[in-house]
């Protein structure tokens, strides 16, 4: 059973394509989605693979591996360095030695928390729903967190909850895309927005603008409306490949891709057990030490999902406080 946990927040900076393979609908390459809700998601296997890949770019690991390459071949140098720095204890050995032991880290899927939608006032709104917030609170409790708010719900299909000082009102309405909502001022929205700004959005002065505006651009809408925005409000890009000689589209090289828009906020609980490795490693403190080791890799801005060579999938990671569970 898991013994420690922390929350990982993923803030999307450029459109994110975590693909699910070839689609059967109107989009050739759709993104990953939950089967029941239809909400966008980044599957745990994708997230863990990225964390592992980035950890193996840790300068401390690279330096130690290179020092061992003077006396060992490349494979043995990689293994020895990964063992001595605890990377194998955290993530497990590589595939050809995977039977030795499992890694101590167990991330969950990165689930949707805030979804940006165009707004007539305020440029864009961070939308969410009572159901999405309630699920976040459930996951937060499992990760040892206790936010200072409860998840309010919206019962009317055209209703919306906003902060008293919201930037989203156009007259007496909130207009998202082509849909109009009747807003209700709720001081709880300020509390929720401030908590998310302080605990979930990236740190650093370059993100101060977004932390300041989140409480005033946050809106809770009905679960059905939120689902519809997440299904039909993503970015869909048409891509093509041109033949250099004919300057026409190469046969079969015209396709569409779906992506999560910039400024989407995802979250993923990270769970851990004590290391299972029987070799020596520097991780102390059991399961909590595993999560603190991951935080020590200084993983802040990484590339997640596909289309790396065209600048897609740049995200900022923020790790929460490690808690024993």
Report, as an integer, the average pLDDT of 46-56: 94
Residue 41 and residue 34 in contact, taking contact as beta carbons nearer than 8 Å: yes
Q: How confident is the model at residue 252 (pLDDT cuts 50, 70, 90)?
A: confident
Residue 80 and residue 67 in contact, taking contact as beta carbons nearer than 8 Å: no
Give percent of the chain above pLDDT 70.
Answer: 99
Residue 170 and residue 181 in contact, taking contact as beta carbons nearer than 8 Å: no
**Average of per-residue pLDDT values in the chain:** 93
Pairing type for strands 4-12 and 265-272 reads antiparallel
Looking at residue 122, what is its pLDDT? 95
Q: For the whole prediction, is pTM greater than 0.85?
A: yes
Report, as an integer, the average pLDDT of 160-168: 97
Max Cα distance, the chain (Å): 73
Strand partners, 179: 176
Residue-wise pLDDT tens digits, 282-309: 899 999 999 999 999 989 999 999 888 9
Looking at residue 40, what is its pLDDT? 97
Q: How confident is the model at residue 246 (pLDDT cuts 50, 70, 90)?
A: confident
Residue 215 pLDDT greater than 90, yes or no: yes
Residue 74 pLDDT greater than 80, yes or no: yes
Looking at residue 32, what is its pLDDT? 94
Give me the torsion for CA of 278, 281, 285, 290, rounded to 10°: -90
Closest CA to 16 of 265, 255, 224: 265
Looking at residue 221, what is its pLDDT? 98
Query: What are the extents of the domains in the chain?
Result: 4-235+259-324
Residue 64 pLDDT greater than 80, yes or no: yes
Q: How confident is the model at residue 24 (pLDDT cuts 50, 70, 90)?
A: low
Give percent of the chain above pLDDT 90.
Answer: 74
Report, as an integer, the average pLDDT of 15-39: 88
Residue-wise pLDDT tens digits, 78-115: 888 888 899 999 999 888 887 888 999 999 999 999 99
Closest CA to 265 of 307, 211, 306, 223: 211
Could you tell me the CA-to-CA distances from 90 to 13, 95, 222, 236, 252 in Å, in that order?
A: 27, 14, 40, 36, 42
CA 252 – CA 36 distance, rounded (Å): 32
């Amino acid at each position: 059973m898991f013994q420690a946990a922390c929350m990982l927040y993923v803030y999307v900076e450029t459109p994110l394509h975590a693909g699910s393979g070839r689609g059967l609908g109107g989009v050739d390459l759709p993104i990953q989605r939950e089967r029941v809700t239809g909400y966008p998601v980044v599957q745990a296997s994708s997230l863990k693979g990225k964390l592992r890949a980035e950890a193996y770019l840790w300068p401390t690991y690279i330096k130690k591996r290179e020092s061992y390459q003077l006396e060992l071949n490349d494979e043995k140098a990689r293994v020895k360095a990964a063992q001595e720095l605890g990377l194998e204890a955290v993530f497990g050995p590589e595939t050809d030695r995977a039977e030795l032991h499992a890694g101590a880290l167990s991330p969950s899927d990165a689930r949707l928390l805030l979804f940006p939608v165009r707004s007539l006032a305020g440029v864009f709104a961070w939308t969410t729903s009572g159901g999405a917030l309630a699920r976040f609170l459930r996951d937060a409790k499992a990760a040892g967190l206790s936010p200072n708010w409860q998840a309010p719900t919206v019962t009317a299909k055209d209703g919306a909850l906003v902060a008293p000082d919201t930037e989203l009102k156009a007259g007496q309405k909130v207009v998202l895309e082509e849909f109009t909502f009747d807003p209700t001022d709720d001081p709880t929205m300020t509390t929720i927005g401030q908590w998310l700004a302080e605990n979930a959005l990236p740190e650093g002065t370059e993100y101060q603008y977004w932390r300041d505006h989140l409480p005033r651009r946050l809106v809770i809408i009905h679960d059905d409306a939120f689902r519809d925005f997440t299904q039909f409000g993503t970015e869909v890009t048409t891509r093509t490949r041109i033949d250099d000689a004919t300057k026409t589209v190469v046969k079969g090289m015209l396709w569409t891709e779906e992506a999560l828009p910039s400024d989407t906020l995802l979250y993923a609980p990270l769970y851990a057990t004590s290391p299972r490795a029987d070799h020596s490693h520097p991780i102390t403190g059991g399961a909590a030490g595993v999560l603190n080791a991951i935080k020590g890799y200084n993983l802040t801005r990484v590339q997640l999902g596909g289309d790396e060579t065209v600048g897609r999938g740049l995200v900022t990671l923020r790790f929460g406080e490690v808690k024993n569970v």
